[in-house]
Amino acid sequence: MVDGKHPIAAIAADAPKRPRPTSYPEPFASRVIRNEKRPLGDLFGFTHFGVNLTRLPPDSISALRHAHLKHDEFVYVLEGHPMLVTDEGDTPHGVHLNCAQDVYC
């Protein structure tokens, strides 16, 4: 949708960083504070789903463990070796991660 307020294309790495690194309070904020998140969905004015470019330093976490009851989450890894941690165990890199309603992502 072209509305004059949002770009029709962008280079993800050039998108503005999230103004506030995290909304988590301490002691949780320090676990994710080194992450760099660029909210691409906000840049394009998306209202029905979110898209973020997130860069994680080695040995870091993307978010605190959580679950979604009313929506799914999709993780697309461009580089690195992620680990999905669930009640079923750890799922290592090199596999497709399906963060469905009954899985913590």
Which tens digit of pLDDT belongs to each residue from 7-43?
999 999 999 999 888 889 999 999 888 999 999 999 9
pLDDT in tens, 48-66: 888 999 998 888 888 888 8
Distance from C-alpha of 86 to C-alpha of 103, rounded to nearest angstrom: 6
Give the predicted TM-score (pTM) of the model: 0.73
Q: Residue 80 and residue 63: Cα distance in Å, rounded?
A: 16
- pLDDT mean across residues, the chain: 82
Nearest to 101 by CA among 71, 76, 75, 74: 71
The token duo for 9 is: 């294309």
Residue for token pair 């290592």: 92
Q: Which residue has the tokens 């992450």?
A: 35
